[in-house]
């Protein structure tokens, strides 16, 4: 397999590093990137071929990963329509729909769309993938293998579900960072030192996530086990219920999902 990346930003770098760590050969990976500094960084860090000439990078590849900025994708793809025939094209460009990518590529249909998230930068990501029915099992496995180089993967059965995926896991790290920030700030307000509060908040979220990941039981059961009747945890959770935090969180994710759909409309315009 020869993989070409269109765009050499952070996510492309994470995928390249993950593939190399899994034993993929550097000489089988190439990157088309306009910025000199980004090209030089990728070539030096991973010993892959990096060029400003997208045509030269795409032509010998059998798999093309679209890793550029979503707003730049149309202009980047239009000149490549004749070069992608027979190739698997995997898009990790947030919000851009397959129908638009297909149109920009002259009706190309061997397409997979994926939504990874930023923990992929440390090999701890999760990526959701969607492929239309005409993409066969071998191509699906190839796409999943590339995304699995930087974390877990799941498949969704409809492309529209990538909007709620984006709201949940794509934007999700920001929610977790915000929660850590608020835990620490509340600790400081209660009298703890800033560094102590930060460490307590960070390690608590990290440990709780690891405990949940290693347990076969749902998070609701784990929560109940640390919520003693009349205890401190129950007091805090009662305030969450009174303030209807669960409802507010759902509303926040609904807003993010709607915005994802709106951005798809905007990015797909010719």
Write down the pLDDT at residue 91.
Answer: 97
| Cβ neighbours of 137 (radius 10 Å) | 8
Percent of the chain with pLDDT strictly greater than 90: 99
Q: What average pLDDT does this structure show over 240-256?
A: 97
Write down the pLDDT at residue 198.
Answer: 98
> pTM score, two decimals?
0.92
Write down the pLDDT at residue 270.
Answer: 78
pLDDT confidence bin for 269, thresholds 50/70/90: confident
Domains of the chain are: 3-159 (3.40.50.720), 172-261 (1.10.3730.10)
Q: What is the largest CA-CA distance in the chain?
A: 68
pLDDT confidence bin for 180, thresholds 50/70/90: very high
36: three-class secondary structure by DSSP? helix
21-47: pLDDT as tens digits? 999 999 999 999 999 999 999 999 999
Q: Residue 237 contacts by C-beta under 8 Å, 6 or more apart in sequence?
A: 223, 227
If you ran DSSP here, which 8-state letter would residue 48 be given? Answer: -
Q: Look up residue 165 and give its two tokens.
A: 């995926």
Distance between CA atoms of residues 10 and 178, nearest Å: 22
Please answer whether residues 149 and 18 qualify as being in contact, where contact means their C-beta atoms are separated by less than 8 angstroms.
yes
62-120: pLDDT as tens digits? 999 999 999 999 999 999 999 999 999 999 999 999 999 999 999 999 999 999 999 99
């Amino acid at each position: 397999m020869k993989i070409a990346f269109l765009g050499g930003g952070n996510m492309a770098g994470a995928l390249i590093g993950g593939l190399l760590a899994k034993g993929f050969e550097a000489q089988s990976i190439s990157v088309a990137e306009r910025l000199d500094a980004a090209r030089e960084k990728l070539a030096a860090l991973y010993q892959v071929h990096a060029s400003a000439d997208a045509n030269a990078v795409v032509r010998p590849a059998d798999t093309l990963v679209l890793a550029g900025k979503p707003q730049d994708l149309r202009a980047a793809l239009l000149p490549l329509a004749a070069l992608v025939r027979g190739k698997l094209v995997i898009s990790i460009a947030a919000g851009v729909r397959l129908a638009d990518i297909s149109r920009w590529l002259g009706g190309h249909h061997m397409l997979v769309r994926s939504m990874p998230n930023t923990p992929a930068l440390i090999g701890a990501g999760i990526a959701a993938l969607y492929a239309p029915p005409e993409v066969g099992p071998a191509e699906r496995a190839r796409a999943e293998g590339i995304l699995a180089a930087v974390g877990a993967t799941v498949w969704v059965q409809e492309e529209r579900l990538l909007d709620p995926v984006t709201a949940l896991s794509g934007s999700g790290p920001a929610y977790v960072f915000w929660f850590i920030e608020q835990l620490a700030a509340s600790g400081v307000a209660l009298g703890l030192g800033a560094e102590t509060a930060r460490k307590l908040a960070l390690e608590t979220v990290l440990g709780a996530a690891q405990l949940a990941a290693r347990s076969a039981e749902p998070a609701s059961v784990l929560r109940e086990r640390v919520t003693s009747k009349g205890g401190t945890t129950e007091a805090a959770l009662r305030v969450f219920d009174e303030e209807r935090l669960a409802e507010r969180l759902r509303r926040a994710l609904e807003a993010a999902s709607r915005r994802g759909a709106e951005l798809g409309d905007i990015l797909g315009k010719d």
